[in-house]
């Protein structure tokens, strides 16, 4: 599987080019399935899921001009025949995994059966946004403003060999300041990338490459 792990979607020309390079063909000739599941734990979940699917949200993904686009809802998969969702996943050129609650997303990646299937998808491009990117790590940390529980460390899917924290130093995400990310990264036993909304990480055959028109920082475990 190939990965394009973003903070906020396809925000600039460099990230767009990286997506096309991973697909190996124009977006207009490519099919995608979008996964909105992570957003549902929030009060704005229903409206944000709609905005993501319809291409009206702040994280450009579904509106890029795909040849075909479908919705893969992870919470529905355990209740339907496996072959009815596995075949469309295997045939898709890309999976577009939206952000939200990374713990909830990780749970449903596993319970749906998708996490087990992903490593076999050698040609598929996994495109993550925020939590959709974080969940791919072997272990991930989440930052919070709550002084009683500032960090949460959990086991991820292990699809890549590093951790990632999005929205680095974004004015609307004080929990993702460089100082806070650095303190949290010290508790994670793998390298951690802090990336802003103009940055993505491209991974092919286990090799990571930073694609950026913004700023980012790599933190090593202590």
Q: What is the pLDDT of residues 154-202, one digit of tens each?
A: 899 999 999 999 998 888 777 778 888 888 888 888 999 999 999 999 9
Gap between the Cα atoms of 17 and 10, Å rounded: 9
Average pLDDT (32-47) is 96
**Helix, strand, coil abundance in the chain, percent, nearest 5:** 35, 25, 40
CB 125 within 8 A of CB 3: yes
Strands 207-212 vs 2-6: parallel, antiparallel or unpaired:
unpaired
43-61 pLDDT, tens digit each: 999 999 999 999 998 899 9
116-167 pLDDT, tens digit each: 999 999 999 999 999 999 999 999 877 665 555 556 778 999 999 999 999 9
Instruction: Give DSSP secondary structure letters for 77-111.
Output: GGGS-HHHHHHHHHH-SEEEE--S-HHHHHHHHHH
Gap between the Cα atoms of 118 and 159, Å rounded: 8
66-104 pLDDT, tens digit each: 999 999 999 999 999 999 999 999 999 999 999 999 999
Closest listed residue to residue 9, CA positions, set 22, 24, 19: 19
* Class at the top of the CATH hierarchy for domain 2-219: alpha beta
At 181 the pLDDT is 82
Task: Tell me if residue 38 falls in helix, strand or coil.
Answer: helix
At 154 the pLDDT is 84
What the block records as the tokens of 88 is: 């469309």
Could you give phi then psi for residue 106, rounded to 5 degrees?
Answer: -60, -40
Confidence band of 222 (pLDDT split at 50, 70, 90): confident
Domain range annotation of the chain: 2-219
At 172 the pLDDT is 78
At 33 the pLDDT is 98
């Amino acid at each position: 599987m190939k990965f394009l792990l973003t903070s906020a979607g396809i925000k600039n020309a460099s990230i767009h080019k990286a997506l096309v390079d991973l697909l190996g063909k124009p977006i207009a000739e490519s099919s995608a399935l979008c996964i909105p599941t992570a957003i549902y734990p929030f009060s704005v979940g229903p409206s944000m899921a709609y905005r993501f699917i319809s291409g009206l949200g702040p994280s450009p993904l579904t509106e890029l001009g795909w040849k075909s686009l479908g919705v893969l809802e992870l919470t529905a998969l355990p209740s339907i025949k496996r072959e009815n969702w596995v075949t469309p996943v295997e045939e898709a050129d890309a999976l577009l995994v939206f952000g939200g609650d990374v713990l909830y997303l990780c749970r449903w990646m596993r319970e749906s059966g998708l996490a087990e299937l992903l490593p076999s998808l050698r040609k598929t491009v996994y495109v993550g946004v925020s939590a959709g990117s974080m969940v791919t790590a072997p272990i991930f940390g989440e930052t919070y403003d709550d002084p009683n529980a500032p960090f949460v460390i959990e086991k991820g899917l292990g699809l890549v060999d590093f951790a990632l924290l999005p929205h680095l130093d974004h004015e609307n995400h004080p929990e993702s300041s460089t100082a806070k990310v650095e303190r949290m990264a010290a508790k994670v036993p793998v390298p951690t990338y802090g990336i802003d909304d103009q940055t993505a990480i491209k991974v092919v055959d286990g090799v990571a490459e930073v694609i950026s028109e913004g700023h980012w920082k790599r933190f090593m475990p202590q």
